[in-house]
Structure 1
Amino acid sequence: MGEDRFIKLFTVEEANGLLPRLRELFAEVARHRDAMRDRNLQVEEVLENAPADSGSRAASEYLAEAHGLYRSMERIRELGVMLKDLDAGIMDFPCERGGELVFLCWHPREESVRYWHEVEDGYRGRRPISEL
């Protein structure tokens, strides 16, 4: 089934139990992502002047945010969950359906995990949990 690629396989109940923590972690992801975007122009200026500049506060802050973003994303991955969209926060939970690997799919605007999809289908192929 290929489940050895994943830390764990989730039930709907297990996935829903992680949502409070995932909401917190995605808020961290969004904060770091947005801070990096805000500093992007400053860092571009630093890079243009890189031969004459040995570093800058803007570049250091950007790198700190990049590290924070990486750590927040890594915490999500360590839970066994895949962050599929850095902007929307769409996350997939590996799951077994009739001996086949599928993904439970959740979006932070949703109160609970209500959808799943085949591995190849992605978000557009989402189906209601009732069909799982």
Structure 2
Amino acid sequence: MSLFTLEEARSELRNLLPTLHRIVALRADAAELAHAVGHGEPSGLGGLPEWKAAQAELDDLLTRVQQTGAELKGFAPLLVDFPSDLDGAPVLLCWLEGDTELSWYHRLDLGFAGRRRLA
């Protein structure tokens, strides 16, 4: 596992934001399509082919995020962690859907419940 400096993680997040925003939008479309297909209801988004296409695109986008070395920890809401080291302790720099920048972290042994704002 490679570690990110805070600057590297912030830079990677800036690069990933368009992909992350696309995941969020596509996630909503896929949920609507799944409901429509599962209940035999019409959707302005399409039907089974569009649902399958949305799932395939989501898989590609999620893979793209993971290939950067970032860790996907949640899908709804979207949660992305960047392995790092803070003052000699292993931490995860933590971005949560809705955050405008990377400004949180948590220790490995505490998980999301131990999330703290970066100084």
TM-score bracket for the superposition, by shorter chain length: 0.7 to 0.9
1:30 is aligned to 24
Q: What amino acid maps onto 1:9 in structure 2?
A: L
The count of corresponding residues between Structure 1 and Structure 2 is 114
Name which one, 1 or 2, has greater alpha-carbon Rg: 1
Q: What amino acid maps onto 2:9 in structure 1?
A: A
TM-score normalised per structure 2: 0.81
Whether 1:111 aligns to 2:100 is: yes
Residue among 55, 58, 79 paired with 1:66: 55
Distance in 2 (alpha carbons) for counterparts of 1:31 and 1:22: 14
Residue among 3, 9, 12 paired with 2:3: 9
Distance in 1 (alpha carbons) for counterparts of 2:47 and 2:20: 24
Unaligned runs of 5+ in 1: 1-5, 47-56
Distance in 2 (alpha carbons) for counterparts of 1:88 and 1:110: 11
Higher strand share: 2
Distance in 2 (alpha carbons) for counterparts of 1:24 and 1:37: 20
TM-score normalised per structure 1: 0.74
Q: Which runs of 4+ in 1 moved over 4 A?
A: none
Higher helix share: 1
Q: 1:40 to 1:11 in 2, by over 3 A?
A: same
Q: What amino acid maps onto 1:96 in structure 2?
A: D
Unaligned runs of 5+ in 2: 41-45
